[in-house]
Amino acid sequence: MDLNQLWQLTLSEMEVQLSRANFATWLKNSQLIDRKEGVFFVALPNNFVKEWIENNYQKNILGVLRNFDVSAKKLEFIVTNQEPKTLAKKHLEVDFNKIDNQAGLDLARVDPDTNLNPRYTLDSFIVGSSNELAHAAALAIVQEVGTKYNPFFIYGGVGLGKTHLIQAIGNEIKIQYKGKYRPRYVSSEKFTSDVVWGIRNKRMEDMKKRYRDCDVLIIDDIQFIGGKEKTEEEFFHTFNTLYEGNKQIIISSDRPPQSIPTLEERLRSRFDGGLTADIGYPEYEMRVAIIKNRLQVANRQLSIQVIDLIANSIKRNVRELEGVLNKILFYQERKGIEVDKKTAEEIIEKSTQNFLGRISDDQILKAVADFYNVGIPDLVGRSRKKETVEPRQVAMYLLRDILRMSYPYIGEKLGRDHTTVIHSYEKINQEVNKNSPFNQKIIMIKESLHNKG
C-alpha cells in the first residue's frame, strides 16, 4: 500500500475518534511523506500544529497507523509551509480519483473559489426517514435560492451527513445556475480564525468583504462560534448584511439553536426565524443502501451477509460505518480473498474496540461529573439529591454502552442494586433512540471522552 493510502486510512480512523473541530484543526492538512526503517515522516503546516500533535495525539496516531502497517515504530513530524496539494504532487504522484473511490478523505479536491468539495453531491446522498425533511429542504433551497427558506438551519449528531448535505446544496447551486450564484463554504473554525486574522492584521475590511461578497454562505458546525464574542459579533453583522440582501444562509450544528448555550439571544432568534431541520440516525435500510452505494462507486463486492453484518453493527454514525467498510475492503484487497462473516466480525470487533478501548470506567465517571458539574462522590454515593439523579443514570448508561460492563458490576460501582441499573439503562437508551435534545448531551459527553483519548 502506498503512503497516501495508508495515511487516508489512518486519518479516517482518527476522524472517527476525534471531534470534528479537533480533527479539522490538527490533522486535516497533514500528509505522510516518507517511511524509513520504521520511522514514518508526517508533514504538518506549522510549528504550532506540530507541537500540539506531539503532545496530544502522537501515541494515538501511531497506534492507529500500526493497525495498517506493523512496521511503524515511530513518528517524526516535519513542518512544511507548502500546501498539502503541492506536497502530494511532488512526492507522491497520488491518484486522487483512486483515493476518492476509497471513500476516504480527499483533502486536495476542494474548489478554492467556493471551498466546496465536489465529492458531496445530492445524487450521492442517500435518503431515508431520518433525513427526509432535511433533504427535501435542501432541494427546495436549490430551487428558491435566498428567498423562501432563509436561513436554513440543520442539526444532528456526529457523522450523520450534515456537512455532506450542506455542501451538496452549494455544489448543486453552482452547477444548476452556472455561476449566477456564488456559494462559499466555511467551517466555523475557519470563520473564527479569519476574524482573528482580520483583527490582528488590521484587515477587517478584507475579511468582511470576503464573506459578504457571496450569494450563498454555508457555515458548518456553528456551535463552535458560540461564546467567542468578536466572532459572534462579526458573524451577526455578516448574517444581517446577507439576509437583507436576500442571500441564502445555510448553517449546520450538532444541536438545535436553543441548545447552544453560549449563543447570543439575538443570533438565536434569527435562526429560529428560518427553516430548521434535523438529521437523525439512519435506519437499517438506509445503512444498507449507503454500503451498497459505496461498493458500487468503488466497484467492489461483499456478500449480503457481510453487508448485513456491517449495517447491524454500526447504527449511529455514517462516518464510522464507512470507516469499517473501508477496513473490510482493505483487508479483502490485501489478502486477495473474499471476507466471510466471521472475519468481518473480527474486523468490526477490533475497530470498535480501537474506538473506545482506551477509556476506563473512572474516565467515564469523571466526564459525566464534569459535564453536569457535580462531584464523583455524588455519582457513586448514596445521595438521593434530585440534581444527581440524571447524571447517575447517564453514568450507568455510558458504562454499559461504552464498556459493556455487566449490570451487577455497574451496580456495585455506583452503590445501587442491579435492577436499578437495568431500569436506568433502559430509560436513557430510550431517550437516546428518540434522538431527542437529550441525546445531544450524551453525544457531548462521548465527544469529551474521545478528545482525551
**What does the binding site for ligand ADP look like in residue numbers (CB under 6 A)?**
20, 124-126, 131, 156, 158-164, 290, 318-319, 322
Beta carbon nearer to ligand ADP, 161 or 198: 161
Q: Provide, rounded to whole angstroms, the least separation between the CB of residue 219 and ligand ADP.
A: 12
Nearer to ligand ADP (CB atom), residue 164 or residue 392:
164
Nearer to ligand ADP, 155 or 425 (CB): 155
Tell me which of Mg ion, ligand ADP, none is bound by residue 323, counting a contact when its beta carbon lies within the kind-specific cut-off of 5 to 8 angstroms. Answer: none
Cβ neighbours of residue 198 closer than 8 Å, sequence gap 6 or more: 204, 206, 207, 208, 234
Stretch near Mg ion under the rule CB under 5 A, chosen from 68-76, 163-171, 290-298, 400-408:
163-171
> Nearer Cβ to ligand ADP, position 15 or 234?
15
Question: How far from chain centre, in Å, is Cα 297?
Answer: 22
Measured CA to CA, the distance from residue 284 to residue 294 in angstroms comes to 16
Residue 160 CB, nearest approach to ligand ADP (Å): 4
Q: What is the spatial distance between Cα 14 and Cα 57, in angstroms, rounded to a whole number? A: 9
Closest CB 98 distance from Mg ion, rounded Å: 24
Residue 248 phi/psi, 5-degree rounding, is -80, 135
**CA end-to-end span of the chain:** 27
CB 411 within 8 A of CB 417: yes
**By C-beta, is 234 or 254 nearer to ligand ADP?**
254
> Which residues are CB-contacts of 93 (< 8 A; sequence separation ≥ 6)?
none
Question: Which residues, other chains included, contact 306 with Cβ-Cβ below 8 Å and sequence gap of 6+?
Answer: 328, 339, 340, 341, 344
Q: Which of 19, 31, 163, 192 touches Mg ion (CB under 5 A)?
A: 163
**Shorter beta-carbon distance to ligand ADP: residue 287 or 392:** 287
> Does the protein bind Mg ion through residue 253 (CB under 5 A)?
no
Grid cell for residue 323: 470507516
33 binds, among Mg ion, ligand ADP, none (CB under 5 to 8 A by kind): none
Closer to Mg ion by Cβ: residue 50 or 184: 184
Residue 186, φ and ψ in degrees, nearest 5:
-150, 140
**Binding status of residue 117 toward Mg ion by CB under 5 A:** no
The Cα–Cα gap between 125 and 241 comes to 31
Per-residue binder mask for Mg ion (CB under 5 A), 340-379, x = binder: ----------------------------------------
User: Residues binding Mg ion: what is the number (CB under 5 A)?
Assistant: 2
Residue 138: C-alpha distances to residues 110, 142, 252, 347 (Å): 21, 6, 12, 36
Other residues' Cβ atoms within 10 Å of the Cβ of residue 401: 18
By C-alpha distance, which of 65, 73, 1 is closest to 27?
65
Q: Are 319 and 327 in contact (CB under 8 A)?
A: no
Please count the CA atoms within 13 angstroms of the CA of 65 that sit on its side-chain side: 25
In angstroms, what is the minimal distance from the CB of 139 to ligand ADP?
14
CA distance 110 to 220: 15
Residue 159 binds which entry of ligand ADP, Mg ion, none, with Cβ cut-offs from 5 to 8 Å by kind?
ligand ADP
Cβ nearer to Mg ion, comparing 14 with 65: 14
Task: Tell me which of ligand ADP, Mg ion, none is bound by residue 416, counting a contact when its beta carbon lies within the kind-specific cut-off of 5 to 8 angstroms.
Answer: none
Q: Which stretch binds Mg ion (CB under 5 A): 10-18, 63-71, 161-169, 419-427?
A: 161-169
Q: Does 223 bind Mg ion (CB under 5 A)?
A: no
Residue number with the smallest Cβ distance to Mg ion = 163
> What is the C-alpha to C-alpha distance for residues 329 and 122, in angstroms, rounded to an integer?
25
Look up residue 89 and give its amino acid. K
CB of 203 to ligand ADP, least distance (A): 30
- Min dist CB 12 to ligand ADP, Å, is 9
Q: Which residue is nearest to ligand ADP (CB)?
A: 161
Which residues make up the interface to Mg ion (CB under 5 A)? Answer: 162-163
